[in-house]
Amino acid sequence: MDFRNAWHRATDEDVCCIACGETVARSDAREYDKYGDRWNRDGKSFEYLCKPCYKECWHVDRSGLEDRLEAAGAGTVSRDAFLRCYHDLAEDAEQTRADGR
Ligand SMILES: [Zn+2]
C-alpha cells in the first residue's frame, strides 16, 4: 500500500494552524514537522499550518521560524499561550527586519 495515498485520504478532520489559530480542513493544511522528518511518524504528533501561513513562513522568510516556534513553546503550552507568545516573537522579528533595511 502506498502510505502517501492513505495520508491524503485522511481528510475527515479539522486541524488548527499553529501560526494564526485558524481551523482548517486537514486536507487544506500543511503538515509542519519541527523534526524535519515527516515520514517517520511513529509516536509523533504533527502540527499544521494553513496555506497562507505556510506560504508566508516558507517562501518569504523562513529564517528564525523554527526558533520562534520553539521559543513560543509550540506543542508544549496551551494554544492561547502559544499564539500570544508566537505573535510577539513574530512582531519582534518583523521589527528587526524592518530596522535592518
Ligand atoms: Zn495560519
Return the C-alpha torsion angle 72, 83, 81, 18, nearest 10.
-80
pTM, rounded to two decimals = 0.39
Give me the pLDDT at residue 59, please: 54
pLDDT at 33 over 60: yes
Confidence of residue 11 (pLDDT cuts 50, 70, 90): very low
Q: Residues 61-79: what's their mean pLDDT?
A: 77
Distance 39 CA to ligand 1 centre (A): 23
Distance 48 CA to ligand 1 centre (A): 8
Q: Do the Cβ atoms of 61 and 101 come closer than 8 Å? A: no
Give me the pLDDT at residue 53, please: 84
Distance 29 CA to ligand 1 centre (A): 9
- The set of cell numbers assigned to 32 is 509542519
